[in-house]
Amino acid sequence: MARAPSKTSPADDSDLRAEMARLGAEIAHHDLLYHGRNAPEISDADYDKLRRRLEALEAAHPTLRSLASPLAKVGSAPADGFGKIRHAVPMLSLGNAFDDDEVTDFTDRVRRFLNVAPELPLAFTAEPKIDGLSISLRYEQGRFVQAATRGDGTEGENVTTNVATIRDIPAQLKSGTAFAIPDVFEVRGEIYLGHEDFRRLNEAQAAAGEKVFANPRNAAAGSLRQLDPVITAGRPLRFFAYTWGEASSLPADTQAGVVAAFKAWGLPTNPLLRVCDGAAALLAFYRDVGERRSTLGYDIDGVVYKVDRLDLQNRLGFVSRAPRWAIAHKFPAEQATTTLLGIDIQVGRTGALTPVAKLRPVTVGGVVVSNATLHNEDEIARKDVRIGDTVVVQRAGDVIPQMVRVVLDQRPADAQPFTPLSACPVCGSPALREADDEAGTADVVRRCSGGLACPAQVKERLKHFVSRNALDIEGLGDKQIEAFYDDGRIQQLADIFTLAERDRQSLNKLKDQKGFGQKSVDKLWAAIDARRRVPLDRFIFALGIRRIGEGTARDLAKAYGSFEALRSGVAGAIAGGRGSEAYQDIDNFEGIGEIVVDALMGFFGDPQNARAVDELLAHVTVTPFERVATSTSVVTGKTVVFTGTLTRITRSEAKAQAERLGAKVAGSVSKKTDYVVAGADAGSKLGKARDLGLTVLSEDEWLQLISS
């Protein structure tokens, strides 16, 4: 008869957990030395004693067993890869501010949206922006059950086993505090490496003849993504909790209050978090943290500001992929001086010819930089950039290298001016600067006129299509696209989805490509098959239409709901021309203007593009846009236009409120408009609505309608 687990008191539990955690950490340490570094410190007999003791404790007290237990991992082969986890609540990014004025603009925008007068208090939280790896930790009944990376914001990698080895992350949240633990709660934060831990890790890597990491962030990311969790367990990763995702309930009604709950539950939080009133207090905090930056012991790249009250956060909502209620105030980019060795021209997916500075390699912000953008030929002329110059470069927002200025007093006598190209360097087609009829000037960008006849444009379009924020096809990166295009395997978008069908019988050819073994080939087929169904907004963005980024793609998806409806609307605009009703219908939608309508008409009106899309749709199903409404409403799916001055809420909040209820917000009135909400001093839109016999509501009537 099996022996029942013994019952223990809370005090006994605490002692047992401590002993089991100590044994687990000690075993993981020796596993790392033995399996990862081939340098054991203890005998096999002593190691076996440690394992037997932990095995006995786990068998007697299974409810106290930690997900971080090394007994479940050691002796098994490392995983082939990480599975995917779809975030219940998307992990979105933040907008950025780079100077004091942009911070003031942010607080002013929040006040205008909420209709809060400048003299009234409005609390924000301010905290250091950790330069690490974003992570989402799911707790159910207070127990850690799952961890996922940010990924593309919608879907991340399942790194549960690896995260369970991080000592900062509790397997069980502390109960019995002033803050009740929700049944389901996703804690989000940043995994990072401290400066001293990073130094020691690199010393150990160098001593073992292994790769030395460039900076703590790269080291943290590399450590977390180890296929063998024993290696992750040996890395001194740390964690700060600062926000949340899915939650069955919230422990407080302010940002600062929820973070206080995190601390009470045993999660590490940043002690520097402050509640500030207004822009002046936020900027004072920013300067204080900036002065202390080098003494913190970990990397930060700015300060994050958030509206403190959660009800105000809900009212503010989101715009595109970022919240209206938060912003990241980045520190000035680090700069370095080097020599401009030459200027290359890159051809983008829309034909844009972008000059790129070829630099003598220089380290900027811990990263070796050998290329930097020069934007366009007008910018080169304005800065008087010449080959051979000494130049100052920086990583804009600590990400994209750019050339800041020329050090003129160090210019050599033989420095060579840049001569703009009149032809595409790849296909030889004329390179033109399109005329801007409204401004009466030439476009700042010179473009190849070759279209899909230009191999560079086709390659870049393919790279964009499979990129992270588009279809995100893992294993089909820039190098693979280049190789597959050059040998004729992938020439257009649809070829990606017929690649397996055409090449399953000739795997040897694929294996000839660098980095493609049997496992890589199998994973590629699976990754492609996983993207045969794609959400509408991702699909629109993936097509690479000029002037349509992620935000605009999402606006179009919200407006039309399906790809068929979008294409039909654009076809009507193409047939009727700029002054047609079909053209105005597209232009009417919030966030869509004439520039976007013209771009859509140009793309779908090109027979080559239309044919490429048709061939792609034979292999891909575009799923309708899922309009997220916070509650069911009589206005869900309706088109609403706001006009005039509203008094009870601002126009911006009214629009955001309507969208949260599932309505479509348009910028102008048409016969397809369902409701026109007219405030004081409503003008021509109100007159047109009456002429068309549309339903016109006052502000009070609108608020009554949506509350019914």
What is the DSSP code (8-state) at residue 309? B
Q: Count CB-CB contacts under 10 A for residue 74.
A: 19
Phi, psi of 394 (to 5 degrees): -145, 165
Select which of 73, 129, 638, 688 is catalytic.
129
What does the alpha-carbon distance between residue 650 and residue 512 come to, in Å, rounded to a whole number? 61
Helix axes 10-31, 44-60, angle to 10 degrees: 150
Q: Which of 131, 107, 133, 132 minimizes the C-alpha distance to 121?
A: 107
- Tokens standing for residue 339: 């020599």
Calculate the CA 383 to chain-centre distance: 32
Q: Is 129 a catalytic residue?
A: yes
Query: Quick check: helix, strand or coil at residue 447?
Result: strand
What does the alpha-carbon distance between residue 548 and residue 573 come to, in Å, rounded to a whole number? 17
**Is the separation of the CB atoms in 50 and 71 below 8 Å?**
no
Strands 84-86 and 441-448: unpaired
- Annotate 574-593 with three-state secondary structure: HHHCCCCHHHHHHHHECCCC
CA dihedral defined by 585, 588, 590, 595, rounded to 10 degrees?
90
Query: Quick check: helix, strand or coil at residue 537?
Result: helix
Q: Which residues of 169-190 are buried (b: 16+ CB within 10 A; e: fewer)?
A: bbbbbeeeeebebbeebbbbbb
**Is the separation of the CB atoms in 68 and 145 below 8 Å?**
no
Enzyme catalytic residues: 129
